[in-house]
Structures are given as C-alpha cells and as structure tokens.
Amino acid sequence: MTLATHARPIVIAPVGRIEPRLVAWAAEDARAILGRDVVVGDGVPLPSHAFSRQRDQWRAAVILDALADAKRADWLRLLGITDVDLYAPDLNFVFGEADERRGVAVFSTARLRLAAERTDRLRRRAATEAIHELGHTFGLRHCSRPSCVMWFSNTLAETDRKDMRPCAEHARELARALDASG
C-alpha cells in the first residue's frame, strides 16, 4: 500500500507520561496499516479530575474531553496513548475509548503490558488497539469476526488473537471513510 499524503494528518499524542518509543511505534504501525500520514504530536496532560480514587483508575471519557480540546482543526483525527489504567462506567476497565463525532480516541498500554515478555508483543498489542480505536473514530462498529481488529476485546487473549488489520468488510468501510475525509 502506498502512503497517501494528505493535508490533514492523523496525530498520535502521548497523554501523561509514556515511553516515547511506544508512541512512535503506534504512529509507524498506524501509518503502515492505514496508508495515511500519521504523525506524533505534542503531549497532552492527564486531567487530574479523570482519576477515581475509589477505582484507582482514570475515566476514559474525561481524557477524551481533554483530547477534543487539544485537537486542531487541521488534524484529521487525534489518538491519545497513555500508560494509566482506563475505565468506563459499568465496566471493570477499557483498553480504550473513542468519540466519532469529535474525531478523538484514547487507548492505554497499562494492561497491554501484562504478560508481554517480549517487546514485539507489546508493540503488536498497542498497534491493534490504536487501529481499533481509530476505526471507531471513522464510524466502524465492533465486528462479529474474532480475528478482525474491530472485535471487542475483553481480555488480552482476545487482543492477541485479533489481527492488526480489519476484516474485508471493515476494510472497505474504513477505506470509504478515509476517502470521504479527504
């Protein structure tokens, strides 16, 4: 696939403290899979009010708000990558969350690090979650095919089973969405 250069890049930004290499890998892998210009942006601070002392976790929706505030009009999408444990109400945790309307998403490497003895496993997991959350920002829904990147992962085993790329049906949907976005 040839990289298409467009005026509006997809930006991946660290949220809080995270290893720069993980952010760079996510950008490189997303660029290869999406065939779009994906760049690393400036860091976004973790909003302190996102932290729940009761849960010892960070509310993903509050981080999405911070990302929406940081997103520039000349960016196609903004994906935040963090190393704190995320949650959404009524769920024990989430690997990530997206807001299609605002074109922002976030995912965490906190749980992706578990049993990731090898660097390539952590990198693959991060790429899978990055593509999954970016897919949501382009209107893709969860897939019924366990190997599709858009499958809803509730465990690391499910994340490890998924491909980093969408199934044929979701690939067509994503290509249409990318084409429509300019």
What pLDDT, on the 0 to 100 scale, is given for residue 1? 42
What pLDDT, on the 0 to 100 scale, is given for residue 57? 98
Q: What parts of the chain have a pLDDT lower than 70?
A: 1-6
Spatial neighbors of 26 by CB under 8 A, at least 6 apart, are 12, 79, 81, 126, 127, 130
Distance, CA of 106 to CA of 88 (rounded, Å): 12
What pLDDT, on the 0 to 100 scale, is given for residue 84? 97
pTM of the model: 0.93
Is 133 a catalytic site residue? yes
Catalytic choice (97, 129, 133, 173): 133
pLDDT digits (tens, 9 = 90+) for 94-109: 999 999 999 999 999 9
What pLDDT, on the 0 to 100 scale, is given for residue 113? 87
